[in-house]
Structure 1
Amino acid sequence: MEYLVMLPGPTNVPNRVMNAMLAPVINHRSDDFRVLYKEIFEKTQKVFQTTGDIVLLTTSGTGAVETSVVNLIKKGDKAVIPVNGEFSTRLADLIDSWGGQAIRIKAPFGENPPYEEFEKVFDQHKDIKALYAVYNETSTGTTIRYMDKLGQLASRKGAFFVADSVSILGGDELPVDRWNIDVCVTASQKALAAPPGVSPVSVSARAKKYMQENPPPTAYLNLKRYFKYQEEHFETPFTPALPLYYAFREALNMILEEGMDNRIRRHKICADAFYAGLNAMGLTPFAKPDARSNVVIAVNYLQGMDDKKFRGLLGEQFKVLVAGGFGDLKGKVFRVGCMGEVHKYHVMRTLSSIASAMNMIGVKANPEATSVALDRLKALN
């Protein structure tokens, strides 16, 4: 039996996406490649819901996040960022290490700071260069539900708005242009349901102009070079991961065939089913109700549930992979990825395996929990 990969990334990849990588290798300085790249460019724009430029980096999501910093932040620049988890902490530290000044708006893990705190910070600092936000904090299953208001605020104040959407784009609402997002970064292996290794970045016209006029002292992550090659030849400045490009194109095809609204609705229904089923087992979400993610379900362990033993049973006995917590949350929570091609089968197999593993370690799970989840899943076609 194959593993059911219910991690917060990488996630399950549909067979037609995996099979796309069997296409022959081509010259990345050829007309064949330009056709491929242009098609991916245009389809990525549709998924991002933007008319802005798209750059495809051959990196993990972290490479795309770092790109957003090195191309915008200069020494002494102020950047506001809400910090409420591992990845937002890393991003704030990255801004500081690059010479910027990260103004951290802190909130307890599992919560978001009140929107009003951002207005206060902008009133206190008149020279803020950028507002960064980790839209979905993968470490805690927490989603910012006022991204649109942050975009309006940044626009009013003349600051760049940067969205780290690595674990959420393709699984929840994210209209880049409508939310005034200047730079949006994501990664192929999360809600887009493609193999790891491609990280798309969208860039607004305003941000692009700034980056072209103020290129960073770096080579591989220098977006000015990518813009130049795209405008002159519709190529990449460096050798791309060609098999991954084929897979990514097929993943985009599947997303557009389903339709973004349908895809987002499916993710929400599956998340509701997870939360309902887990709650019926006596398990509680880590994130507060107004901040709970539809793509990463973080769950508190009950007393008597050992992380290593529990997740080991899930993987070894039931071939279901879920993630543990890390940092301060190590051993305290486990995390389920509800993303990509997630559907009834994924939810029900995961929940039934969790219930069985709990019973095996002596923590009784309500046998009715799966029927509670199944009732929520009736809303799916």
Structure 2
Amino acid sequence: MPENGSFYPRHKLVMLPGPTNVPERILLAMARPMINHRGPEFHQLYDGIIRKSREVFKTKDGEIAVVSASGTGGVEAAALNVVKPGDKVVVPVFGEFGERIVEHVKRAGGDVVEVRSPYGTAPEPAEVERAVKSAGKVKALFVVYNDTSPGVTYRWLKEVSRIAKDAGAFVVVDAISVFGGDELPQDDWKLDLVIAGAQKCLSLPPGITLLSVSKELKDYISRNPPSSTVYFDLSKYFEFNKKLEIPFTPAIPIFYALDESLNMVLEDGLDRRIERHRVAAMAYYKALEAAGLKPFVEPRVRSNVVITVEYPPGVQDAAFRDLLDKEFGVVVAGGFGSLKGKIFRIGNMGDISPINVAQTLMGIAGAFSELGVKVDASAMLAAAHEELKSLLSGQSL
């Protein structure tokens, strides 16, 4: 540490399910000069963000609200703007972030109907449909599209959205960890509110959340603004959007970063970016299984953006991750909640590459080997290489 007390961490490969590695283009964008958040420079910046965000949300007329807050702030905003005291809200729960949505909705006064399944699985659409029908008048369905705690993606989002819309309910989706990394066409799937996070597949630093709101829900919120919040009152954001401003002081450097991230997504091509996440995820799953390790989640709901792996018997979570970090320069996450100490989690988000995959896998193999767990590194790399062929373009592992 320098004498002045400043802290400069050494460069590591950050393979967390957020925050993620931030590309140099985005870091440089944040170094731009400060501007007046009520002036023409910001108006131009925000206009571009709204336009490009709609392309990534795949919505023609969704109202975009960009809030200087973490993704949890976005979920809080959704609950406070959609739910009134006594409203019935259906929530599939298959991970810790589903549990958090239950808490958000209850704090907003909602009457929660939970549809639970064991972590590592997800409720079938038929179970959600039964809950919606038996609940009577349902105000909304809140769904975590990708729960990073078990590593589950809810693959029936389109189907349960149809079920909810047929019942006259709003559909609210926590897509914080998966926006830009998996299929999510808001208009086609009839999603009323989609929440996106910064520090996940967009490769931004933490500190900003995007909400895309359907016209139907926007009209409802504008007529019925929340009474228990000022900062998260989305009707204020809708009004300020008309003059290309934010109602409260925005985190301007992160807005610069968001604009550059959206440029990168659209230059790359959203579909291509999603496919890269899918291929890299498959490489992880195949490689880990080839090495004798066990993915935690059942195959049909495995996430493409966070890979969860069960620890072999006798391996201590802290010892493994500390070794992986200090000796191999790779940072992964442990489990939390009921999964603490049972799994580790690999983030496969944002600016990913075959080299990232290979370095992470070799670090995992090396750390387990030093802890006395036999892992076939050759089989691991061979399996990964087979899956990654379409991304390699002449590179080799």
**TM-score, L = length of structure 1:** 0.98
Indicate the larger mover: 90-99 or 261-270: 90-99
Distance (Å, rounded) in 2 between the aligned partners of 1:357 and 1:162: 40
Distance (Å, rounded) in 1 between the aligned partners of 2:135 and 2:365: 51
**Aligned pair partner of 1:9 in 18, 21, 33:** 18
Aligned to 1:375: 386
DSSP-derived class of the 2:377 partner: coil
Distance (Å, rounded) in 2 between the aligned partners of 1:125 and 1:69: 19
DSSP-derived class of the 2:143 partner: strand
Distance (Å, rounded) in 2 between the aligned partners of 1:94 and 1:71: 11
Matched, 1:168 2:178: yes
Matched pairs, number: 380
Distance (Å, rounded) in 2 between the aligned partners of 1:315 and 1:235: 42
Does structure 2 conserve the Cα–Cα contact (< 8 Å) formed by 1:304 and 1:363?
no
DSSP-derived class of the 2:210 partner: strand
Deviation at 1:249, TM superposition (A): 0.5
Does structure 1 conserve the Cα–Cα contact (< 8 Å) formed by 2:75 and 2:104?
no
Aligned to 1:159: 169
Matched, 1:193 2:164: no
Distance (Å, rounded) in 2 between the aligned partners of 1:114 and 1:24: 50
Q: Deviation string for 1:196-252 (max 9, x for gaps)?
A: 111000000000001001111211000011111111x11000000001110111010
Distance (Å, rounded) in 2 between the aligned partners of 1:182 and 1:344: 35
Distance (Å, rounded) in 2 between the aligned partners of 1:7 and 1:37: 29
Indicate the larger mover: 363-372 or 201-210: 363-372
**Aligned pair partner of 2:235 in 224, 228, 241:** 224
Distance (Å, rounded) in 1 between the aligned partners of 2:360 and 2:47: 38
Distance (Å, rounded) in 1 between the aligned partners of 2:284 and 2:180: 19
Deviation at 1:341, TM superposition (A): 0.8
Q: Deviation string for 1:160-188 (max 9, x for gaps)?
A: 00000010010000001111000000111
Q: Deviation string for 1:108-155 (max 9, x for gaps)?
A: 001011110111122212310000100001100001111111121122
Matched, 1:35 2:44: yes
DSSP-derived class of the 1:240 partner: coil
Distance (Å, rounded) in 2 between the aligned partners of 1:197 and 1:367: 38
**Aligned pair partner of 1:63 in 60, 73, 84:** 73
Letter aligned with residue 139 of structure 1? S
Distance (Å, rounded) in 2 between the aligned partners of 1:21 and 1:96: 37
Distance (Å, rounded) in 1 between the aligned partners of 2:292 and 2:188: 40
Distance (Å, rounded) in 2 between the aligned partners of 1:20 and 1:93: 36
Deviation at 1:65, TM superposition (A): 0.6
Distance (Å, rounded) in 1 between the aligned partners of 2:131 and 2:246: 39
Q: Deviation string for 1:46-79 (max 9, x for gaps)?
A: 0111121100000000000111000010000000
Letter aligned with residue 303 of structure 1? P
Deviation at 1:304, TM superposition (A): 2.2
Unaligned runs of 5+ residues in structure 2 are: 1-9
Unaligned runs of 5+ residues in structure 1 are: none
Aligned to 1:118: 128
Distance (Å, rounded) in 2 between the aligned partners of 1:211 and 1:289: 39
Letter aligned with residue 135 of structure 1? Y
Aligned to 1:26: 35
Q: Deviation string for 1:12-55 (max 9, x for gaps)?
A: 11100111011100000101110000000110110111121100
Matched, 1:211 2:221: yes
**Aligned pair partner of 2:159 in 126, 139, 149:** 149
Distance (Å, rounded) in 2 between the aligned partners of 1:121 and 1:142: 21
Distance (Å, rounded) in 2 between the aligned partners of 1:8 and 1:118: 27
Deviation at 1:194, TM superposition (A): 1.2
**Aligned pair partner of 1:240 in 238, 250, 268:** 250
Aligned to 2:345: 335
Aligned to 2:212: 202
Matched, 1:80 2:90: yes
**TM-score, L = length of structure 2:** 0.95
Indicate the larger mover: 176-185 or 365-374: 365-374
DSSP-derived class of the 1:256 partner: helix
Does structure 2 conserve the Cα–Cα contact (< 8 Å) formed by 1:93 and 1:102?
no
Distance (Å, rounded) in 2 between the aligned partners of 1:178 and 1:352: 40
Distance (Å, rounded) in 1 between the aligned partners of 2:337 and 2:198: 25
Letter aligned with residue 262 of structure 1? R
Letter aligned with residue 118 of structure 1? V
Distance (Å, rounded) in 2 between the aligned partners of 1:118 and 1:200: 27
Distance (Å, rounded) in 2 between the aligned partners of 1:339 and 1:276: 18
Deviation at 1:370, TM superposition (A): 1.3
Aligned residues: CA RMSD: 0.8
Aligned to 2:281: 271
**Aligned pair partner of 2:335 in 304, 322, 325:** 325
